Amino acid sequence: MAWVECQNVYDSSRKRNTLVARLWSRFQAVLFVSVVLAPIVVGKAWAEQNVPGVSDSKIRIGSCSALSGPASFLGIQSQVGALAYFHVVNDAGGIYGRTLELKSRDDGYDPEQTSACFSRLVQDDVFAMGFFVGAPTAAKYVPLAEASKIPLVGLFTGAQMLYEPIKHNVICVRASYFDELREQVDALWRVRRAHRIALIYEDDAFGKTVLEGVQHAMAKYESTPVAMGKFQRNTLDISAAVKAVREEKPDAVILAGPYAPVAAILKEAHAANWSPLFLTVSFVGTEGLLRAAGQDAEGVVITQVVPPYDRIDLPTIKLYRAALEKYMSGTSPSFVSLEGFVDAMVLVEGLKGAGKDLTREKFINAIESLHHFDLGLGPEFPLEYSRQDHKGFDSVYSTVVHQGRAVVISDWKTLRGD
């Protein structure tokens, strides 16, 4: 109405044409600002106020991880991999012009520190979180993320509680410990005919989920572990567990712990001339174990949840190796940092799919839309998500330590062991 009235004044008042024209011009400018520009400005301010960690120029991601203590290799390497990919993305212009920033906090692989660490990340104003380490800490972080409705992407653990039941705000990337242990038990039982299987495990959420995985895998053969021993988290007090299992003379022993206690178990066992086939899951941190155990790691089977990092025929492995060299001062590759790199790739795909008007819910929806997605890890590693499934990969590689490095197993029958 105001627009029409001003136009009539303009037409009937030609003697005041200059003055009215100026007023009319100013009115058009005010109208344009109030009708067209104001919603954009207000909407932009609303978005920045209501989407934590997101500005015109940055997206802030937070991480609580084991940056100190006996599992620090795992936390540091996870961060190395994630940061390497963030650098790749930022150098290419970021996500819709926004660069990625990683805010890292240390929880020491200690569940007692998780609440405070999570709270600090919330205070850091992060959009999402990722690159956490371990089942004992994840058991605390997952309900916090769900309650806060903060997306949590990429955890260096395959604990079953991450997958079942599905958690809306938790995005897992790797295969589960159940996947790894099924691979191990099937090969032991069917190929090696090694039926006397024992377990030495860390007495916490991680060790217990490995125990459940072993029992689940052996149940189809109507069998159970012949012996079990356990030790306390963040300690090297493994002698009693080794003694209890050794007395039962198993054919194979599955070890559930990070690299430091697993190395201590191997050293003590070999010093006593006890050499069954030892196996462990990806959480051990392969390169950390190789350094901690030295020659005593020789012959240990380790299941991996990413392809070997010497597979430079795969586009993502080639990119990972180049990124380490360029951005991380030539840091040596590891299975752990490669997993962190891949986790970061999944997070970035979610950010891309969510679009420029980023929200947490759009981010979750974008990841759920990744079906049969080629992440550059080969045909055995298609990325599969849906609203009913927040687990990206199911694939597992079985490796054995040979001459100081982990190589893919070609024949389980040839592996050494009493």
The pLDDT tens digits for 378-401 are 999 999 999 999 999 999 999 999
Q: Tens digits of per-residue pLDDT, 95-111?
A: 999 999 999 999 999 99
- Does 20 have pLDDT greater than 60? no
Q: What average pLDDT does the structure give for the chain?
A: 90
Q: Which H or E run contains 201?
A: strand 197-202
Tally of domains in the chain:
3
Judgement on whether residues 70 and 134 belong to the same structural domain of the protein: yes
* Cα-to-chain-centroid distance, residue 196: 34
Instruction: Specify the CATH number for the domain of residue 239.
Output: 3.40.50.2300
Q: Tens digits of per-residue pLDDT, 152-174?
A: 999 999 999 999 999 999 999 99
Q: How confident is the model at residue 266 (pLDDT cuts 50, 70, 90)?
A: very high
User: pTM of the entire structure?
Assistant: 0.86
Rounded CA gap, 175 and 178, in Å?
A: 8
Q: In this predicted structure, what is the pLDDT of residue 131? A: 97
Question: Has residue 392 been placed in a domain?
Answer: no
- Does 23 have pLDDT greater than 50? no
Judgement on whether residues 128 and 185 belong to the same structural domain of the protein: no
- Does 50 have pLDDT greater than 90? no
Q: How confident is the model at residue 19 (pLDDT cuts 50, 70, 90)?
A: very low
Radius of gyration of the chain (CA): 27
Q: Tens digits of per-residue pLDDT, 213-242?
A: 999 999 999 999 999 999 999 999 999 999
Judgement on whether residues 189 and 168 belong to the same structural domain of the protein: no
Question: Has residue 148 been placed in a domain?
Answer: yes
Mean pLDDT over residues 262-269, rounded? 98
Question: Has residue 50 been placed in a domain?
Answer: no
Burial of 33 (0-12, 13-18, 19+ CB in 10 A): exposed
Judgement on whether residues 171 and 74 belong to the same structural domain of the protein: yes
Q: Tens digits of per-residue pLDDT, 51-61?
A: 999 999 999 99
Judgement on whether residues 273 and 330 belong to the same structural domain of the protein: no
Judgement on whether residues 255 and 289 belong to the same structural domain of the protein: yes
- Does 22 have pLDDT greater than 70? no
**Percent of the residues in the chain that have a pLDDT greater than 70, as a whole number:** 88
**Percent of the residues in the chain that have a pLDDT greater than 90, as a whole number:** 86
Judgement on whether residues 183 and 275 belong to the same structural domain of the protein: yes
Residue 22: domain span: 2-41
Q: Coil, strand or helix: which one is 65?
A: strand
CA dihedral 149→152→153→159, nearest 10 degrees, is -120
Question: Has residue 46 been placed in a domain?
Answer: no
- Does 8 have pLDDT greater than 70? no
Judgement on whether residues 85 and 162 belong to the same structural domain of the protein: yes
Question: Has residue 224 been placed in a domain?
Answer: yes
Q: How confident is the model at residue 416 (pLDDT cuts 50, 70, 90)?
A: confident
Paired with 153 in beta bridges are: 130, 171
Question: Has residue 231 been placed in a domain?
Answer: yes
128-137 burial code (b ≥16 CB/10 A, e <16): bbbbbbbbbb
- Does 356 have pLDDT greater than 90? yes
Q: Tens digits of per-residue pLDDT, 282-336?
A: 999 999 999 999 999 999 999 999 999 999 999 999 999 999 999 998 799 999 9
Question: Has residue 330 been placed in a domain?
Answer: yes
Q: In this predicted structure, what is the pLDDT of residue 268? A: 98
Judgement on whether residues 73 and 161 belong to the same structural domain of the protein: yes
Q: How confident is the model at residue 37 (pLDDT cuts 50, 70, 90)?
A: very low
| Pure H helices in 303-392 | 315-327, 335-354, 360-368
Q: In this predicted structure, what is the pLDDT of residue 13? A: 40
Judgement on whether residues 248 and 370 belong to the same structural domain of the protein: no
Question: Has residue 48 been placed in a domain?
Answer: no
Judgement on whether residues 300 and 367 belong to the same structural domain of the protein: no
Q: In this predicted structure, what is the pLDDT of residue 398? A: 97
- 246-to-74, 149, 239, 250, 297 alpha-carbon distances in Å: 29, 47, 10, 7, 18
